[in-house]
Structure 1
Amino acid sequence: MSAPSSSPSSASPGGDLTFVVRTIARTAVDNERDFGDLDSVAGDGDFGYSLARGFEIVLADWDDLVSDAPAEFLKKVALVISKRVGGTSGPLWGTAFLRAAGAVKDRPELNAADAVAMLRAAAEGIRTRGRSDLGDKTLLDALIPMTDALERRLAAGEPAPGAAELAALAASTARAAADATTSMQARRGRQSYTGERSIGSPDPGAVAIAVMAERVAAEWDARD
């Protein structure tokens, strides 16, 4: 869920990767109620609470988690999320960070192509762990289209996109994809138990991806 710049500067503690992860964590905490309210429409309502509790620990332990090695940093975050986020969210989000770490193993510096690789690996990890796919009304319905859009933009070549452009593209794509889940019937997770009642509201996980991407894009130029 990161969008490092085309130049390889994001491995440093103040770099793009740590900015993105810290923004994700802050967004999860700040939107606890909104995410929970959305989940309560057709789920058990604990999504916002569970996500916030885990990412609170990430923020509290931030100095111990940050590493000059991107993969090591992501592995540490994955461990916290897996252990401290309750319900099904913990294993899924923990797997996402762990698979992202594996995608950049032994990479001391990151670029935009690495961001796509991390996102792709995260999505594949969630797909396998959650036994879900596009159209099942899960966070994958925002994460995969967002990743596809970034990959297409990078493949388009010149002019080479800057980090801010990629962040904006990720945000707009994730938002449109999350909104599109409103008309879907959930096939995985707690919401799937409600059958047709899950139609008419967007998937909380997909919305979370969109809100996180939007905040990254909005704060990109003002980051430390």
Structure 2
Amino acid sequence: MDKLTIDDFKKMLRNALLCITERSDEFSKLDAVLGDGDHGTAIVQSMSALVATAEQGTEFRSMLNDMSFHLMLEISGSTSTLLGGFFLGMSDHAAGTELDAAGVKAMFVGGLEGVRKQTKAKQGDKTMMDALIPAVEAIQTCDSTDVKTILLAGAEAAVKGAEATKEMKANFGRARNYGERSIGYADSGACSWSCMFDAFAKAL
């Protein structure tokens, strides 16, 4: 597919909500190892709010903008702040009702920039950034003009990135208090964000 339409994007969001909901218990169990065990619930709530707002959207920039603002107003917590930052960053780099390959790449790069305004976490800190950064880099460097191929490259990199967090020591948030004991478990945020990217690609 050479263009991503607004309806395609809504389909991606709905599939992400579906896939994240199916795995929400897994995300909460992972979060319970190093955090407070509510990540599955938090990300399902956040994705539900995003999908509900997106349904009204008719154009990329305003839809992405509305999604992020409604999310941050409705739901508090780090999950909604990071997802809100992601879609708000996307809105700065997307316009119109369809995007070509270059437009899709620019939108995801904007999303990463938006998240970077909300967190100082870097790749290797055992956070969702370990899924997000490789995903956006893979999207950016994919030389295909086919939107589905580009998103599949992002999904693959995100899943690998989340898997790699098992061997990492947490350097961020509450989890860093566990030091060496944080090794051996994947990060719940990296897993849920990789699930989102995977669902995006599979929705097309």
The letter of the residue matching 1:10 is T
Mapped to 2, the partners of 1:144 and 1:61 lie a distance apart of 26
More displaced, 80-89 or 201-210? 80-89
Residue segments in structure 1 that go unaligned for 5+ positions in a row: 155-159
Percent identity reads 28
1:129 to 118, 125, 139: 118
The letter of the residue matching 2:166 is T
What is the CA distance between 1:89 and its match in structure 2? 1.1
- 1:40 paired with 2:32, answer yes
What is the TM-score when the length of structure 1 is the normalising length? Answer: 0.81
The letter of the residue matching 1:194 is Y
2:83 to 93, 99, 106: 93
For the 8 Å contact 1:51–1:86, the answer to whether it is kept is: no
Relative contact order (alpha carbons < 8 A, sep ≥ 6): 1 or 2 greater? Answer: 2
What is the CA distance between 1:173 and its match in structure 2? 1.4
1:196 to 180, 193, 202: 180
Q: 1:21 maps to what in 2? A: 13
Once the two structures are superposed, residues 161-195 of structure 1 have per-residue CA deviations (whole angstroms, 9 ceiling, x without a partner) of: 42332232222211111111111111122212322
For the 8 Å contact 1:150–1:169, the answer to whether it is kept is: yes
What is the CA distance between 1:145 and its match in structure 2? 0.9
For the 8 Å contact 1:42–1:194, the answer to whether it is kept is: yes
Once the two structures are superposed, residues 30-55 of structure 1 have per-residue CA deviations (whole angstroms, 9 ceiling, x without a partner) of: 32212111111111111111111222
The letter of the residue matching 2:124 is G
Residue segments in structure 2 that go unaligned for 5+ positions in a row: none
State the 4+ residue runs in structure 1 displaced beyond 6 angstroms: none
What is the TM-score when the length of structure 2 is the normalising length? Answer: 0.89
Mapped to 1, the partners of 2:76 and 2:27 lie a distance apart of 14
Secondary structure at the counterpart of residue 83 of structure 2: helix
Q: What's the Cα RMSD here?
A: 2.0
Relative distance call for 1:121 and 1:164 in structure 2 (3 A) is closer
For the 8 Å contact 1:38–1:204, the answer to whether it is kept is: yes
Relative distance call for 1:211 and 1:197 in structure 2 (3 A) is same
The letter of the residue matching 2:5 is S
The total of aligned residue pairs comes to 204
Once the two structures are superposed, residues 145-173 of structure 1 have per-residue CA deviations (whole angstroms, 9 ceiling, x without a partner) of: 1111122113xxxxx44233223222221
